Chain A
Amino acid sequence: MKYVDEYRSAQLGRVLAGEILAELEPGRHYKVMEVCGGHTHSIYKYGIGDLLPENVELVHGPGCPVCVIPMGRVDDGIAVALKDGVIFTCFGDMLRVPGSQYTLLDAKAQGADVRMVYSPLDALRIARENPDREVVFFAIGFETTAPSTALTLKRAKAEGIANFSCVCNHVTIVPPLRALLESPDLRLDGFIGPGHVCTVVGVRPFEFVPLDYGRPIVISGFEPLDILQSILMILRQLSEGRCEVENQYTRVVPTEGNVRALEVMADVFELRPHFEWRGLGFISQSALKLSERYREFDAEERFAVPGVRVADPKACQCGEVLKGVIKPWECKVFGTACTPEHAIGTCMVSPEGACAAYYNLGRFARDREAV
């Protein structure tokens, strides 16, 4: 595949691994957090850890859209899905996320019309084709997917599709990142920044990481060479005593982000005063709801949803995993009570979840040597 395979070259990977090695201070342990679940998945899929020395530790961050959805929101979704005449649409990963009783997949087996879509526009098409049914889209994701939800809602409004609505669970990445940096139990040397989010918001929103917290952050692509190069750029900043935002993903991420997408988002969404994150609790101004202008499409207004906050299961340590405080295998229920077949926590469900990525792809680590 052109423009993809070039970024997966094993030969160049070895060159970068050599340069990383040369940049290390012997005996020092480096902890680098990849913010994005997409990075976590790539790291395990390509076995990137196998190319790094043992004292470069990758810590998985909170940027997995499915992982951060709390149980109460899943219950709200299921309650809507079970209403007569509703066609409930969502991305495939959401189907197996446990609510307090069961999953959307179980609701489907009980007769709910739950359909997997690849894009919110598919949900709108279903609404157009089924004018006598209520079609609901369960929107999730960071700033990466929020613009496509926004554009879909703009189109629904322009076409006057009255049987379409949206449960908005869109979240923003900066507030949890700030919360994480405030937490005293985490010592990180630098961040691999969220490349996809930055295609929309640009690199400026991340300047607080070096300015307020003195940590380097490199906005990174998702191919294995991107990730290795970003690690190298972070290590270079550390060895040269620099601390700044750098953009490794220049082929996709413009400094200013995508101005049109930001305009559309500003029209369709407004900030929620606060939002509950799975395992992280309530974080103020960290999520989006539909703006006044789009209120008619808000499924939370259209349907009575329970809106009950459900505490995370006691055994589940998703919060600590999302904050990078523990590794997936350090969770008490990892791989025994909590497996991809019968997940207790969200991190075990999404392919971008740290637990699922580690369980499905990474459970066998090659011996590595420290430098």
Chain B
Amino acid sequence: MSASGSPTRSDREQRVLEIIETARAKRPRFRDERITLAHGAGGRATQTLIEGLFVPALASTRSNPLAALADAATLEVGGLRLAMTTDSYVVKPLRFPGGSIGELAVNGTVNDLAVSGARPLALSLSLILEEGLDAEVLRAEIEAIAAAARAAGVEIVGGDTKVVERGAADQMYICTSGIGAIDPRARLSPDALTPGDQVLVSGPIAEHGTAIMLARNQFELDARIESDTCSLWPAVDALLDAAGPDLHCMRDATRGGVASVLNELARASGVAVVAREADVPVAPVVAAAAELLGIDPMHIANEGRLVAFVAPAAADAALAALRAVPSCEQAALIGAVRREPPGMVLVETSFGGRRVMDQLVGDPLPRIC
């Protein structure tokens, strides 16, 4: 309030903004009449679907891990702490520079376990195939799945196959579920972000989404950009070793990109995250493609990059440990957790200004994973 007592323009603006934040902090209600592609894009529409429909209907008790909205559920079975997760893959095209749907189906599920602090153990594999699919295409994907599972150190232990009429699916969809053993070093939780925590990313961002965009050839841009798909367990293992209980939370930055991760966790922990744009690693060719398409690299999907929140005392050790892991050489500290304003993500722009960084409402690019 101004000293004179009557509210100034900026006081009124502040009050409007506070009302908006209160409204945003409420559990969203799912009121849409139909499902649109936005509901699958991993941004705010997906969040509304999950928190407004799935959680209220399915998480009947407070202790149900679904309500925690983590990448994987944590279960205690006969004294053993396990993590469980499931994911489906509908990427188009099936093959793209740096990977394929089969490789994604393994790494995506492995990574949801890994960032939950669990060493991935076993996956199940369900296939939905379109009538008429070339057997060679299927064979190639099964080989890709086998190779990715070997590289990630997991076994495929069960599966299911369905075939639908031509036109009822687009070539093939894959669903994998996985279980892992929670590592005794891990003390992770989405609500554990603490003011002062440093934010780490494990390497240059936005490569998977950009590679898929270009592979679709819709934009007639010619650039060599490969998907970053890989297992994140080695990176997680190194972080747990270096930071232990000082490692407060991790997420793999898939759909919705790093921006979605920061927003989800800022909200879950009731803190602010301030990112420094100039410190976020982005390959020049990716930055140029994103610029042309008018998309912020922070909103573009990754399939082998994680974001970690580490107490300040352990941040340098965590960064050094991460950089020693192959494919994480360019890991970087990109920001910090602050107390105010709770639930918001801010960016210090390279130009010296500041802006809000929200989740996207929809995705300009459906079927990216």
Q: Which residues of A contact B (CB under 8 A)?
A: 1, 4, 8, 10, 13-14, 44-51, 92, 96, 105-106, 108-110, 116, 118, 122, 224, 327, 329-330, 334-336, 340-341, 351, 359-366
Contacts and interface: CB of A to CB of B under 8 A. Distances in A.
Given A46-B349, A364-B341, 6 more contacts: A8-B350, A329-B13, A334-B16, A340-B361, A341-B44, A362-B356
Interface of B: 10, 12-13, 16-17, 19-20, 23, 33-38, 44-45, 48, 218-219, 284, 287-288, 291, 294, 341, 344, 346, 349-358, 361-362, 364
Contacts of B355: 44-47, 361-362, 364
Contacts of A116: 364
A309 B364 CA distance: 30
Nearest to B341: A364
Contacts of B287: 1
Contacts of A92: 364
Given A47-B349, A327-B13, A341 B354 contact: no
Nearest to A358: B356
B291 A4 contact: yes
B30 to A, nearest CB: 11
A237 to B, nearest CB: 25
Contact of A363 (B36, B44, B353, B356): B356
Given A108-B36, A360-B356, A224 B351 contact: yes
Given A96-B362, A334-B16, A341-B45, A364 B354 contact: yes
Smallest CB-CB A-B distances: 9 pairs: A47-B353, A335-B20, A50-B353, A46-B351, A10-B352, A361-B355, A109-B34, A47-B354, A329-B16
18 contacts: A4-B291, A45-B355, A46-B351, A46-B355, A47-B349, A48-B353, A49-B353, A50-B354, A51-B351, A92-B364, A105-B37, A108-B36, A224-B353, A336-B19, A340-B361, A360-B356, A362-B356, A364-B17
Nearest to A228: B351
A8 B349 CA distance: 10
B325 to A, nearest CB: 29
B213 to A, nearest CB: 11
Contacts of B349: 45-47
Contacts, number: 102
A35 to B, nearest CB: 20
B48 A341 contact: yes
Contacts of A122: 218
Contacts of B10: 365
B10 to A, nearest CB: 8
A46 B294 contact: no
A122 B352 CA distance: 38
Nearest to A102: B33
A48 B361 CA distance: 24
Contacts of B12: 330
A223 B164 CA distance: 51
Contacts of B351: 8, 10, 13, 46-48, 51, 224
Contacts of A329: 13, 16-17
A47 B352 contact: yes
Contact of A105 (B16, B38, B291, B364): B38
A44 B33 CA distance: 33
Nearest to B19: A336
Contacts of B219: 118
A4 B284 CA distance: 12
B228 to A, nearest CB: 21
A118 B351 CA distance: 28
A51 to B, nearest CB: 6
Nearest to A44: B355
Given A50-B354, A96-B362, A224-B351, A364 B346 contact: yes
A260 B350 CA distance: 38
